[in-house]
Amino acid sequence: MSDIDQSKGNNPHAELDEIDKSILRILQADAKKNVKEISAEIGITKTPIYERIKRLERIGVISNYVALIDIRRIMSSLTVFCAVTLDVQKADHIEAFAGAIGEMSEVTECYLAGGGFDFLLKVVVNDLDAYHEFASHRLAALPNVSTIKSSFVLSEFKHSTVSPLI
């Protein structure tokens, strides 16, 4: 099966072997590691490591490289989880809401959910006043928003960007 078949065929999951998973674990821990460092850590020469990384990028397993920042070192902030229910849950209404949320920089994560609400949002703002402004004048002003239930983060005990690789 080709790389394209693995990323876009009936099975959207790429076939990863233990070497691929090792590369991904290393890059998730430190994306600045270069091919030489990764090859030394795994015990395989640089060329196959380089080719595997390029394949993982090409098929979309590695989607981006970013710098993670600690927002608390830059500014005071308030993190809020919002459970949003829509009046109408038809596909075009869901897509319109998701599109509008995509334009709001305060929303750092957005999930379509099943159960008691339609969307779960992670919102980061400066303070409670900024959240009130955001929730009442921007989020609640979107068409089709029925209810917003907010939970305010008091303390963070775990935050990870690492996806578990079995």
Q: What is the CATH number of the domain that holds 106?
A: 3.30.70.920
142 and 83 assigned to the same domain: yes
- Taking the CB of residue 85, how many other CB atoms lie within 10 A of it? 16
Task: Give the pLDDT score at 166.
Answer: 61
Task: Kindly report the CATH number assigned to the domain that includes residue 26.
Answer: 1.10.10.10
98 and 35 assigned to the same domain: no
Task: Give the pLDDT score at 11.
Answer: 53
DSSP conformation letters of 104-123: -TTEEEEEE--SS-SEEEEE
Given a contact cutoff of 8 angstroms between Cβ atoms, the answer to whether 124 and 78 are in contact is yes
Task: Give the pLDDT score at 12.
Answer: 63
Q: Which domain holds residue 41?
A: 3-58
- Provide mean pLDDT across the span 98-112: 96
pTM above 0.75, yes or no: yes
166 in any annotated domain: no
